[in-house]
Amino acid sequence: MELADKLNYPSSGYKLKEITAFKIFIYHRDHALGDSEAVIPKIIRENKHVINFPKTNNKCVFHCIAWHTFQSPKKDPSRIQAQVKEAFKRYCSFKGVKYSLSLFRSFKPIDRLQLDEVEDCFQLGINVYKMDVVSGNVECIRRSDKGYEAMDILSYENHALYIKNIDMLQSKYRCPKCEMFFVSAEKLKNHKKNQCELVNIESFPAEPTIYKPAQNTIRSLLTKYSIKDADQYIDHFIVYDFEAILKPTATQHGENTVFTNEHIPVSVLVADSLTEEVRCFVNDDPKMLFTDMFKYIGDVSVKIQQYNVNKYKSLLQKIINAHGLTGMEIPGVNLGKTYKMFDVESWIGEEKYGSLFDFHSSLGFGKQKSDYGKLKQQLDQVPVFGFNSGRYDINLIMSDLFAVIGTDNIKSVIKNPSYMCIATSDIKMIDTNTSWYQLR
C-alpha cells in the first residue's frame, strides 16, 4: 500500500482489462429429501413402523406431511394423492407462489435447510432420522427446536419415509404408566402384566457420564450457514458495581428477630468494554439512582447492539436470503409476501431505514423464533455483569428494580445458588459468584 500511494496515476478512470487468475471452490451437499427412485432395503421396507410411499416424484416429504395431517385408520398410504396436492398448495400459498399442475409435477427435492420454513408453513415440527441397515441402529440427524406437534421422518438415500412410532423403530418399547423402556414387546407385556405400578421410577446411568452443556446458539448458526468471518463470542459487555450505606432501622421480624440496619444503595459505577468509558451515578433516592443507571445502560446497549449487528452482518444476510422475512416480522409491509435482502437494501436506499441495524431493530418475533429470531435475541440482549458481587448487588436493588424497568419487558428470571439472571429484550443482567472475567 505504501508503494501504491507513491505511484503517479495518469487518471482516476481505470477500467478492468483482464483477470489473470482465479480459483473456484466447489462444495457438494447431499442433504435433499425427494429421491423416489431410491432402492429401499428389506430391513426398512418390511418394517411395520415405517411407511414407504410409492411413486412420490420428489414429493416424499409432502406425502409424509399429508399422511400425518390427514391420516385415517382406513386410509391407504398409496391413495393419498389428493391430500398431497392440498399440502403442496398450502406450501405454495405460504411461499407466495401460484400453484399449477406443471409446478406440482416438476417440483424439486426439498433441502434440509428448507425444513425450517416447511415447519412454519404446516405448524409441524419435523425430526429426521437415518438407519444403519447393517446394525439396525437409528440416529437422529435433525431435531426440530420448535414447539409444534412433532412428526418423524426416516431418510434413506435422500428418500423420506414416514415413521409411525420412533420408539418402536428404535426398539424402545415404553410403558404408558411408568414410562420405562424395554427392548422388546414381550418384555413390555410381562412388565405390564406382573410388575408395573402407577409410579415414576427414576433411573440413573451405571457409569459416570460427561456433562454436555447446551450448544451455543451463535456457533450452531455459524456452522449451519457456513460463515467463517466471525466467531461465536459476544465481544462486548457492561459491568456495574454498587456502593451502599447502612440505614438504622428497628424492624421487628418474627418473635425473636430485630433488623437493626438496612442496606441503601447510594452510588453505582457503570463501565463497558466497547467505549471503555466509566460513569458514576450518585443519588440518595434509590429509584432515581436506578433510573439514571438504566438510562445510561440503555444508551450504551444500543452501541453494543450496533457492533454486534455489524459483526454478524454476513450471517444475518445469509439467513434472510435463505428463509426470508414475512410481514408478521417486518412492520408496515404486505403480510402475504416473503422479503429477501434485495428488498431490505432497496428500503435502505429509499431511506426508509438508515442502515441494516435500523432495519434489524424494527423487527419483531413471537415465541416460535426462526433462525433470525434466535440470533436477534443473542445480539440484542447485551450482557450486564455485577462486578465481584456474588449476587449481593441484584438482591440490594431487587425491591426497586422492577419499578424502574417495568415487568412487561421482563423475558426471563433465573435464580440458583451459583448466579441470578434477569433478562429483558435489550439486556441480560447477570449477578454471579464467579468473577465476570472468567465467564468467557
| Structural domain spans, the chain | 32-169, 238-438
Of residues 73 and 49, the one with the higher pLDDT is 49
The amino acid sitting at 263 is: H
Residue 127: DSSP 8-state: E
Phi, psi of 82 (to 5 degrees): -65, -40
How does pLDDT run across 88-128, given as a tens digit for each residue? 999 999 989 899 988 888 888 888 888 889 999 999 999 99
pLDDT of 212 reads: 78
| From 62-66, 87-91, 313-317, 418-422, the region with the lowest mean pLDDT | 418-422
pLDDT-based confidence at 357, cuts 50/70/90? very high
| From 236-250, 293-307, 426-440, the region with the lowest mean pLDDT | 426-440
* Among the four given CATH numbers 3.40.190.10, 3.90.230.10, 3.90.70.80, 3.50.50.60, the one describing domain 32-169: 3.90.70.80
262-287 burial, b for 16+ CB within 10 Å, e for fewer? eeebbbbebbbebeeeeeebebeebe
Q: How far is CA 228 from the centre of its chain?
A: 19
Predicted model pTM:
0.51
pLDDT of 316 reads: 94
Of residues 227 and 75, the one with the higher pLDDT is 227
Residue 174 vs residues 50, 68, 130, 206, 428: alpha-carbon distances, Å = 18, 21, 21, 20, 40
How does pLDDT run across 173-208, given as a tens digit for each residue? 777 777 777 777 788 888 877 767 655 567 777 777
pLDDT at 352 over 80: yes
Residue keyed to cell 428463509: 323
pLDDT of 307 reads: 96
The span from the CA of 361 to the CA of 375, in Å, is: 12
Q: What is the mean pLDDT of residues 261-273?
A: 89
pLDDT-based confidence at 440, cuts 50/70/90? very low
Cα-Cα-Cα-Cα dihedral sign, residues 214, 215, 216, 218 = negative
pLDDT at 215 over 80: yes
Q: What is the mean pLDDT of residues 223-252?
A: 88
The span from the CA of 427 to the CA of 363, in Å, is: 17
The amino acid sitting at 182 is: F
Residue keyed to cell 411407511: 51
Q: Which residues, at least 6 apart from 380, have a Cβ–Cβ distance to it below 8 Å?
A: 305, 308, 425, 426
Cα three-residue angle 126-342-349, rounded to 5 degrees: 140
pLDDT of 306 reads: 96
Percent of the chain whose pLDDT exceeds 90: 30
pLDDT at 269 over 90: yes
How does pLDDT run across 2-39, given as a tens digit for each residue? 555 555 655 666 666 778 888 888 876 667 777 667 78
Q: What is the mean pLDDT of residues 124-141?
A: 87
pLDDT at 271 over 60: yes
In the predicted model, what is the mean pLDDT of the chain? 83
Helix/strand/coil for 152:
strand
Q: What is the mean pLDDT of residues 65-81?
A: 80
- Give the chain's radius of gyration (CA, Å): 29
The span from the CA of 429 to the CA of 239, in Å, is: 9
By CB neighbour count within 10 A (0-12 exposed, 13-18 middle, 19+ buried), where does 406 fall?
A: exposed
pLDDT of 276 reads: 93
The span from the CA of 56 to the CA of 38, in Å, is: 11
